[in-house]
């Protein structure tokens, strides 16, 4: 089978590997679609991010869907031919965090396409994948691309839990890549009365408006773009920081109401925070990392029509054009979610 393998920065290769066979309680999946994520782009463009660097060739990819090709012994509730969204998250289930219900912080996590441990955890951009049956969410009624969006949608659903009740609240979203646009969709579904989105490209801001943002602001055009929201100690009750840019977080603090919650999703390196202002306004800053139970909920929400992610699927490339797909996926002037078709 063909696989998409990163060897180093800008060194992406299509390589042949043996087709795996499912063991007990596993399924063999003929892969259909895979979304290129920000972490995939970091491996492609820079060979990793921060201290997490490629030390050996690694198959990329973790936002995937496919059709069940065969069932291992003991699998129930699934059948051959079904479309499934595949959770890339495989916590051990036995460490202290798993036992406490915080599986996203598992000490022995096996997450597809991750160079955090060594040997690396190989990813899911391949023609065939063996997965545990428990990773598979039946995605009847969805397209293969929509099913592949279950993973990033799960990330945002987990973040929304950190933000708390959004009913009737005013929400700021900074950074309108796929995660930011999904944050707009989720905040709207959660009952936010007003959503303001910021970014630096007209294309992503137009997409934010389509996703449900009431106001879309280009912060590249003016350094004081949020100043109108800073009167009377601020305007917003909650913020999803999806850019990973320190300046975006710092500029938003004056626009947050006292007691507001800032949820940090963007991973862009360490940040310098305006701590005195945050302290005086009693702002709550919380991180949000990965997901667990939200995966199956994300699939069902799409199936029931609660969230429509299809407008975010802007491009699709065959596996043979993986390099072209990765190059376009990093261009926020014309692409949101770029899919690979296997």
Q: How far apart are CA 113 and CA 58, in angstroms?
A: 7
Tokens of 293: 């139970």
How many CB atoms neighbour CB 284 within 10 A? 16
φ/ψ region of 77 (left if φ > 0, alpha if ψ in -120 to 50, else beta) reads left
Per the document, the length of the chain is 342
Residue pair 295/150 in contact (Cβ under 8 Å)? The answer is yes
Who wins on pLDDT, 318 or 246? Answer: 318
**304 CB-contact burial (10 Å; exposed 0-12 / middle 13-18 / buried 19+):** exposed
Per-residue pLDDT reduced to its tens digit, 226-244:
999 999 999 999 999 999 8
- Confidence band, pLDDT 50/70/90 cuts, at residue 85: very high
27: tokens are: 């399924």
Of the chain, the percentage scoring pLDDT greater than 90 comes to 92
pLDDT of 268 strictly over 80: no
The tokens of 14 are what? 């299509």
Nearest to 173 by CA among 257, 259, 264, 39: 264
**Could you tell me if 74 and 22 are in contact, meaning their C-beta atoms sit under 8 angstroms apart?**
no
214-237 in b/e burial notation, b at 16+ Cβ within 10 A?
A: bebbebeeeeebbeebbeeebbbb
pTM: 0.95
For the chain, strand residue ranges (E) read 2-8, 11-16, 26-35, 48-49, 52-53, 58-59, 63-71, 83-86, 89-90, 110-111, 128-132, 136-138, 170-174, 194-199, 215-218, 236-241, 256-264, 284-287, 313-318, 337-341
Token pair for residue 240? 């999803």
The alpha helices in 165-274, defined as continuous H runs, are 178-189, 202-211, 246-252
Asked if the model's pLDDT at residue 49 lies above 90, the reply is: no
State both tokens at 300. 């069902």
What pLDDT digit, counting tens, does each position of 168-217 carry?
999 999 999 999 999 999 999 999 999 999 999 999 999 999 999 999 99
Of all helices (H) and strands (E), which one includes residue 20?
none
Q: Could you give the 3-state DSSP secondary structure of residue 263?
A: strand
Per residue in 110-148, pLDDT tens?
A: 999 999 999 999 999 999 999 999 999 999 999 999 999
Question: How big is the CA angle at 87 (ends 81 and 90), to the nearest 5 degrees?
Answer: 125
Helix 202-211 vs helix 178-189: crossing angle, to nearest 10: 20
Q: Across the chain, what does the average pLDDT equal? A: 95
What pLDDT, on the 0 to 100 scale, is given for residue 82?
98
Domains of the chain: 2-149+309-341 (3.90.180.10), 156-287 (3.40.50.720)
pLDDT at 223 over 90: no
Phi-psi region of 41 (alpha: psi -120 to 50; beta: other; left: phi over 0): alpha
């Amino acid at each position: 089978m063909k696989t998409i393998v990163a060897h180093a920065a800008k060194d992406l290769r299509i390589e042949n590997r043996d087709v795996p066979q499912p063991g007990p309680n596993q399924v063999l999946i003929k892969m259909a679609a895979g979304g290129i994520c920000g972490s995939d782009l970091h491996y492609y463009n820079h060979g990793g991010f921060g201290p997490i660097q490629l030390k050996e060739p690694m198959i990329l990819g973790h936002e995937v869907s496919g059709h069940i090709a065969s069932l291992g012994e003991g699998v129930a509730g699934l059948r051959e031919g079904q479309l499934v969204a595949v959770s890339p998250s495989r916590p051990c289930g036995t460490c202290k965090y798993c036992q406490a219900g915080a599986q996203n912080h598992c000490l022995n996590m096996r997450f597809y396409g991750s160079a955090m441990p060594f040997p690396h955890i190989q990813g899911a951009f391949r023609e065939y994948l063996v997965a545990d049956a428990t990773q598979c969410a039946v995605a009847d009624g969805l397209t293969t691309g929509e099913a592949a969006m279950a993973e990033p949608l799960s990330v945002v659903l987990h973040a929304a839990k950190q933000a708390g009740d959004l009913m009737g609240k005013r929400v700021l979203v900074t950074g309108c890549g796929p995660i930011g646009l999904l944050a707009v969709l989720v905040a709207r579904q959660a009952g936010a009365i007003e959503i303001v989105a910021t970014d630096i490209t007209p294309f992503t801001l137009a997409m934010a408006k389509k996703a449900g943002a009431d106001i879309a602001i280009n912060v590249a055009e003016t350094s004081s773009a949020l100043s109108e929201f800073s009167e009377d100690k601020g305007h917003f009750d909650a913020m999803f920081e999806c850019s990973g840019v320190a300046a975006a977080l710092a500029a938003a603090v004056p626009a947050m109401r006292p007691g507001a919650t800032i949820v940090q999703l963007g991973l862009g390196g360490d940040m310098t925070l305006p701590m005195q202002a945050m302290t005086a306004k009693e702002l709550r800053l919380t991180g949000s990392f990965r997901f667990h139970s939200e995966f199956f909920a994300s699939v069902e929400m799409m199936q029931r029509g609660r969230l429509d992610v299809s407008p975010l699927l802007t491009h699709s490339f065959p596996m043979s054009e993986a390099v072209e797909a990765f190059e376009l996926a990093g261009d926020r002037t014309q692409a949101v979610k770029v899919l690979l078709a296997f």
